[in-house]
Amino acid sequence: MLLRPPPVFPGFRRESFAVFGIRDRDERRQAIIDAFHPPLRLLADDLRPILDEGNGAPFHAHLPQLNWPKGYQPFCTWLAFSRLPHGYQAGPQLNVGVHADQVSARLAWDVAADAFGRFEFLCRHGGLGDALAQVASSAAGGLRFRVYAAAPWPSGSRCVLASATDWQGSFDEVARRGVFWELGRRWELPEALGAIERAEWAEQVRDVFEALKPLYERID
């Protein structure tokens, strides 16, 4: 295996996370973009080479504008990789999410996407669920199935299921109240601030994405 180049991602600044508490919506939106999108762009440069290995179509990196739908209250931001150049939320994402209380690297779905039903079918009836569980148990750092429900600002969302094994239950929870599904790793804050402020954290995200990419390939 070729040695990985050193990351260009500089790490997140721990003081940046205070922007999620700004009360004014427009000021908070711009502060989140200013604080997190520059390092996320550099993280994208670190991650894209491992995602584009092989013969598949290239991945596109997406950052949100945080201004849709009308009246949306920004409570997080993210870097999403998809083979879709536009409309990436219609399919699976390899996603780095940044929240006030946690940062995640994950295979993720907006469950409102029409294709999420096909994904659930493949998991329940096509053997994909067992493949997800196998990756969850073997990946470095341990991965978890999580489902999030909507919540008022400032939290914006709340985790209503977290399990290392219960992928079936994750779909049951989506049917009850979920808006977002993921398989991935979370770094809880403030405990993990020392890790995510270091450039080397990009290598941990690379490891997660390398484990999850074959699953993305089976869905795509």
Q: CB of 78 within 8 A of CB of 97?
A: yes
20 found inside a domain: yes
2 found inside a domain: no
pLDDT at 1: 46
Q: Is the peptide bond before 49 cis (omega within 30 degrees of 0)?
A: no
**Taking 70 as the threshold, does the pLDDT of residue 2 lie above it?**
no
For the stretch 3-22, pLDDT in tens is 667 789 999 999 999 999 99
Cα distance between residue 208 and residue 105, in whole Å: 7
1 found inside a domain: no
**Taking 90 as the threshold, does the pLDDT of residue 60 lie above it?**
yes
Distance of CA 105 to the CA centre of its chain: 5
Task: CATH number of the domain at 144, please.
Answer: 3.30.930.20
Question: E strands along the chain, which residues?
Answer: 60-62, 76-82, 93-99, 102-110, 144-150, 157-163, 180-188
4 found inside a domain: no
- Quick one: what percent of the chain has pLDDT higher than 70? 98
171 found inside a domain: yes
Average pLDDT across the chain, whole number: 94
| CA distances (Å), origin 152, targets 18, 75, 107, 181, 192 | 18, 10, 24, 18, 25
The count of structural domains within the chain is 1
